[in-house]
Each structure stands twice: as C-alpha cells, then as structure tokens.
Copies of this chain bind each other. A is one copy, B any other.
Amino acid sequence: MSGTTTSDDRTTRRIVLAARPQGKPKASDFRLETAPLPPPGPGQVVLRALYLSLDPYMRGRMDDRKSYAPPVPLDGVMEGECVAEVVESNDPSRPVGTIVLARMGWQTHAVMDGKGLRRIDPAEAPVSTALGVLGMPGFTAYSGMRVIGQPKPGETVVVAAASGPVGSLVGQLARLAGARAVGIAGGPEKCAHVRGELGFDAAIDHRAADFPAQLAAACPKGIDVYFENVAGPVLEAVIPLLNRYARIPVCGLIAQYSGGGTPPAGPDRLPGLMRDVLTKSLTIRGFINYDFFGIPGIQEDFRREVGGGVRSGAIRYREDIVDGLENAPAAFMGMLEGRNFGKMLVRIGT
C-alpha cells in the first residue's frame, strides 16, 4: 500500500452492467473494462479501492424497475460501496493516505468530491469492518432491531442468513437484549459457526428436508421477531409460528431478487397473511438502512454499542474475502446462492 499516485492510478478497471439478467445473473451480464481517469478538480480526490462490498440489494439495481433507488444503466458501472485510500488530493481535509468510505462502484479507482466521504480510523477496527459489522449491514441489523424488532427478554428472535453480516449481528443483538436467538443458515458448517462462534441458542439448516419441523422445535414459545432478509420457504415456515404482536422488520428478500416480475403460481397466500396480520396484530415493516439515519443519536449509539462490542470481542463477525476485481461477478453470483460464508468482500488494492 502506498500513499502516492502511480501511473496505474490514472486509469480505472471497472465492472459494468453488460446486460440485464433474466432471473439469476450470469457471467455475460457483466463486463470488465479499463478507462482513463479524469484529473481531479478543485476539492476532488483520486481514490484507490481497498475493499469492495458485495451486497444482495445490488441484484435489484440490475433490473429496470422502480425501487427505492434508480437501476444501474446498461454499460454503467455496477454500484457499490468501497473502503478506499486517497492517493491524490485537492481537498486539504482528505489528504493523501486518508482511508474513506466511498460509493465508487465496482472499480479500482475513481475521482470524487472529498467532501462527504466518511473518514475511517484504522486504529478503531480493521478498515474492512466499515463495509460489514460497523458499516451498512451492521447498521441495518442494529436499526431494524432497535426501531422495529424491539426484542424483549424471554422473547424469540429468528433470522435467516444467520452467518451473514446482517443476520449474525441481529442474533447477537437479540442475545444481548435477553432474547432467544434462532439462526437459519445453509449447511452444517455455517450452522456450527452460528451456534458456536456467534453464540446463538439454536441454528437450523434450511436445506434439511424437515426444516419447518426443526424450526418449530427450536421455537417452543413461538416467534416474536422475525428479521426478514430472505423470504421464500423460510418465510413460509416462519408465518405459522408467529406470536401475537410479532414484529417483522423486512430489509431484504434475497430469495425473490432473481424471480423476475411475474407473480408465481398459486395458491394466493396474500389473504392468509393479511388474516394473520389482523388476528395476531402483526407488524410488517420494510426499511432500508438510511430510513433510520435521522433518528437522534442512533448513529452514535450504533458506533458505541456495536463498535465497542467488536473491540471487546463481545460481538463477532466473519468476512469472506475474494481477491481481485475481476472475481467480483463470480463472488456476487455465489453470494446470491448463499455460497459465501460471512460478509462478502472483494479485496482490490491492498
């Protein structure tokens, strides 16, 4: 790692959206390009990416349909957040060598305004955590549990993708609140990690043939909070177990992301869900992480509670790191199928 610009820092390698996927993305939906960088203007900096974060929401951005954010245009750089180093600077407040968080997309370099780039202190925690447990996924877990989930002592909290960056923190926060944490993960290795390393009360393999029965057995007092990030068969197994006044924060639906726009065949389960909403006084509430940024003190509380937990070891996290930007598409496609084990990162410039 160096703090000075090299000739390599005048070009960027980047992954663009070559075609809109039909269903699951495939390699030909992505294209690796090289492009020259413009010189930085006043107040701008040249960034070299260290880590790129791969996240399920990116699948939604590949489709040309309305969502909370506009889609990535065809031939546009895939969107994403990086931890990056300032390698050239026209912004005195972001000198060369500063480590920042930047929405620079799937690329090695970018020219951006220095203002608005959040500085990361490498002394506080490994810089990669700014993309995971101390970054967007961590805040998603923290704010969703604090605002919507609100676990109470003795309640049961269920979360899927429990070895992933959001799910792993959801369960640990549930435990810290005195609730029972039940994690769902794919395969015995991940389940062992969820129980052993992360300290959940139970971990269920969603690939098991009797998954619904195992989930019911792990939740003898029903489910009070279901932190929804996957949808599909997990949601189906959860619904009958929901207790009166259960809360369902919805921050992701990974099983649906590649489903396309056509509603699946019946029966129609919407009336049944609405009936449960009514007769059990359920709360189902969608959010994306910046919905809660504005709550007074919440970001400070997050950094203090979760940052403190990470530094003390009370909160654990796991990263799944792939080397090289060119491997980002394959890593992303694998993540959508649950083949990652921990927060999915691409190491680019370190």
Chain A residues with CB under 8 Å of chain B are: 60, 66-68, 228, 231, 235, 244-245, 250-253, 256, 259, 262-288, 291
Partner of A283, one of B60, B259, B283: B283
Contact A274 B235, CB 8 Å, known A281-B287, A281-B288, A286-B281: yes
Partner of A284, one of B267, B271, B277: B277
A71 shortest CB reach to chain B, Å:
12
- Chain B residues contacting A66 (CB-CB under 8 Å) are 279
- Chain B residues contacting A264 (CB-CB under 8 Å) are 266-268, 271
Residue of B nearest to A247 (CB): B285
- Asked if B271 contacts A268 (CB within 8 A), the reply is no
Known: A263-B271, A267-B268, A282-B285. 16 other contacts (CB 8 A): A68-B244, A228-B274, A250-B278, A251-B278, A264-B267, A264-B268, A265-B267, A266-B267, A266-B268, A269-B269, A270-B273, A276-B286, A281-B287, A281-B288, A282-B284, A283-B283
- Chain B residues contacting A250 (CB-CB under 8 Å) are 274, 277-278
Contact A284 B285, CB 8 Å, known A264-B271, A266-B267, A274-B235: yes
- Asked if A279 contacts B244 (CB within 8 A), the reply is no
| Nearest 9 CB-CB pairings of A with B | A266-B266, A263-B267, A277-B286, A269-B270, A67-B279, A278-B286, A284-B284, A283-B285, A281-B286
For this complex, 24 residue pairs linking A to B, each with C-beta atoms less than 8 Å apart, are A60-B279, A228-B274, A231-B271, A235-B274, A250-B277, A250-B278, A253-B275, A256-B271, A262-B267, A263-B266, A263-B268, A263-B271, A264-B266, A265-B266, A266-B268, A267-B268, A268-B269, A268-B270, A278-B286, A281-B287, A282-B284, A282-B286, A283-B284, A284-B285
How many angstroms from the CA of A5 to the CA of B61 in the assembled complex?
74
A126 shortest CB reach to chain B, Å:
30
- Chain B residues contacting A231 (CB-CB under 8 Å) are 271, 274
How many angstroms from the CA of A60 to the CA of B278 in the assembled complex?
11
- Chain B residues contacting A60 (CB-CB under 8 Å) are 279
Partner of A281, one of B253, B262, B275, B291: B291
A268 shortest CB reach to chain B, Å:
5
- Chain B residues contacting A281 (CB-CB under 8 Å) are 68, 285-288, 291
- Asked if B275 contacts A256 (CB within 8 A), the reply is yes
How many angstroms from the CA of A251 to the CA of B277 in the assembled complex?
9
- Chain B residues contacting A228 (CB-CB under 8 Å) are 274
How many angstroms from the CA of A267 to the CA of B250 in the assembled complex?
22
How many angstroms from the CA of A244 to the CA of B286 in the assembled complex?
10
- Chain B residues contacting A280 (CB-CB under 8 Å) are 68, 286
How many angstroms from the CA of A256 to the CA of B262 in the assembled complex?
24
Contact A68 B282, CB 8 Å, known A267-B264, A269-B263: no
